Amino acid sequence: MTPRWSVHHLYRSEYQLLGSDEMAFKWHKWLPRVALLTLCVFSIVALILSLVGIRSVALPPENKYGLVFDAGSSHTSLFVYQWPTDKENNTGVVSQTFSCHVNGSGISSYDSHPTEAGASLRPCLDEAMMVIPPERRREAPAYLGATAGMRLLRKKNPSVSERILEEVGKAIREYPVSFRGARIITGEDEGAYGWITINYLLNSFTQYSAKDRDWVHPASAGLVGALDLGGASTQISFLPSDNNTDPFRFRLYGFDYGIYTHSYLCYGQNQALDQVIRVILNASSSDVIEHPCYPQGYNGTMNVSSLFGSACANNQTQAPDNVTQVLLLGTGNATLCRQAVRNIFNFSNCSHSKSCGFNGVYQPRVNGKFLAFSAYYYTFSFLNLTETHPLAVVEDAIDAFCSRTWNDLKSSYSDQTESRLVNYCASANYILTLLLDGYGFSNTSWENIAFRMQVANSDIGWTLGYMLNLTNMIPSEAPRTLRGHEEGPWVASVFFIVATLALAIVLLLIYFLQ
């Protein structure tokens, strides 16, 4: 006979066992439903978060492009610039992206064969097309600006100068760009745009503020003057210390500027040195002349027709009769060289009550710091004088160079072409005379001049300044937008979706492993 307590115990144990099986059966039965419900809830939450997070997202601005040919007196260069489609205060933030030097001389040298002037541009244009994206080419403004060489040709032969401009324009139109014209720019434009270029590259107009995360105008911009010395003209541009002048005005990045600028035609380096020879020749009664700016031991000939064929010779005595060539003998005397160079200037004829530069042209007193580029830089770079030195050190270095013989120079600088090497003494003394006697720099202000050819990896010249001014007239594009997600909601959505998939996998494993 089984004790009652034992039966009761067994009955209770059996009941508990049956209850446990029933509960397991119920949980096994409801498991898929719970999993499905959970998946639905998480999916709905993820979908809602995805839909809420969708908004218009501004894409980074694309770049616009522009091409500018600098058709100088001795050579032509092509520059390609780019700037974002959304401009800053109606002016593009422009940077140089490509440059190409055209083979051959300046376009004014094609006066006998104008069609070749256009053909000379094609290799550089072909390279530029590889730089500009295809979808941006047709809207890219393309412009050719001719400077002093073409100004002189226009004075001598207007019809030929127009023919050359037609031919270069015809060549540019063959390419898928927005041709804006080929013209001869004024000397004042050349000087002012060069000033804009320098101060833009030095961040004097606008700079990026990490605090404001935007481009801002500097509170106290240190505007720098520009000194440009080309082959046929020279320009000086700066912000005068007073307002007693009629300035060259323009507007950039929402601010107005007025500067003094003047261009002296026929006082570029090449034309000025030819003037010196004409003055020496006119003072001589022989076709053999001693040239103090040429190194001792040098002798060379020059055709009188080419020397007096320039439009810059109109105001000087005509070529001597019955003389077709002159023999130039170098004497290498820096003091006499400076005296000869001074003879091509007029420092006394000033009809203005204030002050003059030279040849009776009004000029305010030089003010502030200056950057000297083009031939200024090339000459002083050769003489290792581009670093800031006291004026006395510069003059001593030039005097020492001028005293060296022609044979010494040829053996020391065998990599230099003789046509350039023979002129460095003359060029250096011309620069000293132009800056000190012509523009009025002094012993104290000399060290305010820095000699440079590039700033911020961009070439100094008038072309970048022109492109900056042109962007004022090119409308901005509306910002590109894309329907997308903000980062926070998008991360949350991805998390919920991943969590939902992981939970589903876990529950399905439990279901099939029971």
pLDDT tens digits, one per residue of 394-444: 999 999 999 999 999 999 999 999 999 999 999 999 999 999 999 999 999
Shared domain for 389 and 295, answered yes or no, is yes
Distance CA 281, CA 321 (A): 12
Residue closest to 436 by CA, chosen among 340, 338, 368:
338
Q: Between 225 and 511, where is the model more confident?
A: 225
Locate 415 and state its tokens.
Answer: 């990599």
Q: Are residues 205 and 72 in the same domain?
A: no
- How would residue 457 be classed by pLDDT, with cut points 50, 70 and 90? confident
* Separation between Cα atoms, residue 250 and residue 252, nearest integer Å: 7
Instruction: Compute the Cα dihedral for 340, 344, 350, 356 and give only its sign.
Output: negative
Residue 457 or residue 61, greater confidence: 457
| CATH number for position 328 | 3.30.420.150
- Are 180 and 268 in the same domain? no
Indicate whether 12 belongs to any domain.
no
Q: What is the pLDDT of residue 208?
A: 54
**DSSP letters for 349-379:** ---SSS-B-STT-B-PPP-S-EEEEEHHHHH
- pLDDT, position 193: 94
Indicate whether 147 and 210 sit together in one domain: no
Q: pLDDT category, 4, cuts 50, 70, 90?
A: very low
Is 14 a member of any domain? no
Q: Which of 290, 293, 248, 289 is nearest to 269 (CA)?
A: 293
309 and 205 within one domain: yes
For residue 464, being part of any structural domain is answered with: no
Does a structural domain hold residue 9? no
Q: Are residues 206 and 346 in the same domain?
A: yes
Confidence of residue 293 (pLDDT cuts 50, 70, 90): very high
Of 48-57, 74-83, 350-359, 486-495, which range is least confident?
48-57
- Is residue 11 a part of any domain in this protein? no
One domain for residues 446 and 332: yes
Do 169 and 260 reside in the same domain of the chain?
A: no
Contacts of 276 (CB under 8 A, 6+ apart): 293, 340, 341, 343, 344, 426, 430
Task: Specify if 213 maps to a domain.
Answer: yes
- The predicted pLDDT at position 1 comes to 46
Which domain-ending residue is among 185, 202, 230?
A: 185
Residue 306 pLDDT: 84
Give the per-residue pLDDT at 59: 45
Q: Is 472 within the bounds of a domain?
A: no
Whether 190 is a known active-site residue: answer: yes
Quick: pLDDT tens for 39-73: 656 666 655 555 555 555 444 457 889 999 999 99
Active-site position among 190, 418, 477, 487 = 190
The pLDDT of residue 10 is 42
pLDDT at 456: 86
Boundary of a domain, candidates 153, 185, 217:
185
Q: Which residue's structure tokens are 């035609």?
A: 265
User: Contact, 194 vs 235, CB < 8 A?
Assistant: yes
Residue 6 lies in a domain: no
Please indicate, yes or no, whether residues 351 and 223 belong to a single structural domain of this protein.
Answer: yes
Shared-domain flag, residues 130 and 73: yes
pLDDT tens column, 146-169: 999 999 999 999 999 999 999 999
**SS3 at position 37:** helix
The number of distinct structural domains making up the chain is 3
Tell me which residue range forms the domain holding 488. 44-59+482-514
Same domain, 67 and 144: yes
Q: Quote the distance between the C-alpha of residue 240 and its chain's center.
A: 24
282 with 289: CB under 8 angstroms? no
User: Cβ contacts of residue 415 below 8 Å, gap of 6+?
Assistant: none
Q: What is the pLDDT of residues 235-282, one digit of tens each?
A: 999 998 876 667 788 888 778 888 999 999 999 999 999 999 999 988
Q: Which of 185, 206, 234 is the last residue of a domain?
A: 185
Strand order in the sheet with 233-238: 248-252, 255-265, 233-238, 225-229, 370-374, 449-451
* Residue 77 near residue 101, CB atoms below 8 Å: yes
**In this structure, what are the phi and psi dihedrals at residue 472, rounded to the nearest 5 degrees?**
-65, -25
Same domain, 406 and 420: yes
